[in-house]
Amino acid sequence: MELVNERVVADRLAALAGSEPRLVVSGNFATPWELVRIAEATLPRCRLFALNPQAGWPRRPGIVTETPFVGPGVRGDPGLDYLPMRLSLVPRLFASGRPPDAVLVHASVPRHGTVSLGIEVNILPAALEYVARRGGLVVAQINRDMPHTRGDAVIDVDRIDLALEVDGPLPSPTPRSADETADAIGERVARYAVDGGTVQLGIGLLPDAAAAGLRRRRRLGVWTELLGDGILGLDRAGALDPDRNLSATFLFGSPELYAWADDQPRLEMLRTEVVNDPTRIAAHPGMLSVNGALQVDLFDQVNAGYVRSAIYSGFGGQPDFVTGALHSHGGHAVVALRSWHDKTDTSTVIPLLGDPVTSFQHSVIVTEHGCAELFGQGQRGQTRLLIEQAADPRSRPGLREAAGRLGLVGPDGGG
């Protein structure tokens, strides 16, 4: 690893082979913004491959963003190349049709001959392996504020060609106050956890509310894509098993979370094809997978990726975790959502999705109105439960009428 200035980085990027080199970039909340800026200014044409690109991502002619999970930085970008696929399968792309020419990572300062990918592991280990096979370029933005996490995050400095020192605080979520609806949903979700089980939680008010409800549990394990402050709260409440590692593939949370993660022996940062492998997820007894949704229809099909028929995010890991949790002994694949979307004044439980499906066949759909326990139900039974237990009372008459048109009610009009 050679410490260099911006000019050297620009020269090496400009020397990449091909008219449209592919650069795999640390995504989510670990974007190496200075390296991205240099690439944008240096390369007339390139393809940037990243998960969940954030606001400020470059958008101009000549730059094509490739991603299986769309973030706010590229929503509505006409040049976006969205890849609709399960997150667990994404690393395979680097060995086939989308080989990387360079990898740009955001890393910790060196310790004992290594740096750490810190809060973002995900697809990066695979990208680093494949770019090395091709003799490509690896550039690290070194940041003293990046925690040195363990597991697959640890990279030998000899695997990095160039390093640019750029210190600065990492992003944290904007604090949001809980509300009665989120608390009610979180409390219901928590009922499906068992002492000694394992949990997967996302980020936002509903997962945080579920985490609050889980604090009464004991000896919980963690196997999750995203690890946030809700999990840290569980640890401090004594709900987690002190003898089990906490396994995740990226972090996003408060500075307090990042400080806790630094050289944390119980935190195991793993590559996405391990964390998202449904077989590995299923191996955890009592696996509670909690995912959000934008809409659910009367056939128990969930949309978590499209808004008004435009791509908003993507599959992400939801299909992986739903499948894995369903195959876990005593596991539950829970989808949690508010029954009513206030901004559009519409029900989130709808007759039939018009957009691509993110996942289906869940254990239970949870809203503030109740829990529709769907596993093992016939089609008419699950329709009845979705209407009577999950939907907002305002939407139920229309949903019952739609269920009749769709043939989802019995001859007597019941489920």
Residues tagged active-site: 225
Q: Is the dihedral angle over the CA atoms 38, 151, 313, 339 positive or is it negative? A: negative
Structure tokens of 234? Answer: 């569980």
All residues at 6 or more sequence positions from 53 whose CB lies less than 8 Å from its CB, including other chains: 27, 31, 65, 67, 70, 71, 72, 73, 74
Using alpha carbons only, give the angle 82, 276, 123 rounded to the nearest 5 degrees.
55
CA-CA distance, 224 to 211, in Å (whole number)? 13
Q: How many CB atoms lie within 10 A of CB 373?
A: 18
CA-CA distance, 23 to 8, in Å (whole number)? 17
Q: Three-class SS string for the chain?
A: CEECCHHHHHHHHHCCCCCCCEEEECCCCCCCHHHHHHHHHHCCCEEEECCCCCCCCCCCCCEEEEECCCCCCCCCCCCCEECCCCHHHHHHHHHCCCCCCEEEEEECCCECCEEECCCECECHHHHHHHHHHCCCEEEEEECCCCCCCCECCEEEHHHCCEEEECCCCCCCCCCCCCCHHHHHHHHHHHCCCCCCCEEECCCCHHHHHHHHHHHHCCCEEEECCEECHHHHHHHHCCCECCCCCEEECEECCCHHHHHHHCCCCCEEECEHHHHCCHHHHHCCCCEEEEEECCEEECCCEEECCEECCEECCCCCCHHHHHHHHHHCCCCEEEEECCCEECCCCEECEECCCCCCCCEECCCEEEECCEEEECCCCCHHHHHHHHHHHHCCHHHHHHHHHHHHHCCCCCCCCCC
